[in-house]
Amino acid sequence: MAIGILTSGGDCAGMNPAIKKFVDYSFDKALKPYLIYDGLEGLIDGNIKEAKHSDVAGIIHEGGTRLRSSRSKRFFELKYRQQAYENLQKLGINRLVILGGDGSFRALKQFYDDFGVDFVGIPATIDNDIFGTDYCLGVDTALNMIRYATDAIRDTSASFKRACVVETMGRNCGYLALVSAATCGAEVCIIPELEYDLASLSKKLKKQLHEGRKYIVAVVAEGTNSTKKLVKWLEKDVGIETRATILGHTQRGGNPTVYDRLMATEFVIHAIDKLLSKESKDGLVVVYRDGEFKFVTIDYVNSQKFQIKKELLELASKMVG
């Protein structure tokens, strides 16, 4: 039986460990694994190669994705999906594992509806914003990259009695900023999910500076578009010299953490086992929820917007006003 794997959308640490496990576990199950390069674009262009152990040897510690990725507009046209299907048919591939986000899952769901190619999606995005799962592959590594950078920035801020504004990724989800602020000891945390009171924060921070505070750490989610505003507020209102650091794509790179490597392994095993079972149909997503791996439909993933747990939001209560 032939089975393929591809990575789609934004890359993240953890994808390479997942690719390696996919190949190794496929051979364990007497399957013929194929690597699909360049995401959905690779499906269309037939950039598909039968995998060997040598293709994945030594990649478990690498960030990003050896298969590369893409965001494909062509795939949403039937003629290109037909071309992709024919490419798979030539190789006898009728089952796919895709690492990506909800957009990638929707694309393959349409592919399944058109041609019946079964698949299981693995949530892989540092934003951690996919509904139905508590955890997405790559999040732990991204948080550690943010932690490392924020700790370093704090060191130099303390040396000059400055404030630092650290902008994290996450699109419209504040998960990365919230967890980073809570675990890096930030004084300010600005995320889309919570209202903030700069007047209240200003009063509190001025008092702390008067009593001897030497620096201020503010973590802001990119989705708030508030980085420049915070710098101006800290300098003009709070009265402290301020520097901003936009971490950008450094958060997607780096060596995958132990946790992301382990999660990649377990996600892939569950995905392949489901594809080999008679229960797999209509395209499913393997999720990690309440400490267990489960399967949900694409419709379920798209039925609601991801929300940060109340318990986590409470961690930011003193950092917003």
- For residues 24 and 185, give the distance between their C-alpha atoms in angstroms, rounded to a whole number: 41
Amino acid identity, position 244: A
12's CB contacts (< 8 A; 6+ apart) are 124, 125, 126, 136, 137, 138, 139, 141, 142, 252
For 79, 177, 242, 297, the CA distances from 147, given in Å and listed in that order, are 45, 10, 19, 34
- For residues 238 and 177, give the distance between their C-alpha atoms in angstroms, rounded to a whole number: 22
Does the active-site annotation cover 127? yes
Residue 174 CA, distance from chain mean position = 12
Cα-Cα end-to-end distance for the chain: 58
Of the residues 11, 38, 102, 127, which is catalytic? Answer: 127
Q: In this structure, what token pair is assigned to residue 121?
A: 């999606």
For 28, 167, 204, 315, the CA distances from 319, given in Å and listed in that order, are 50, 15, 10, 8
**Degrees, nearest 5: CA angle 72-95-290:** 85
Which residues are tagged catalytic?
A: 127
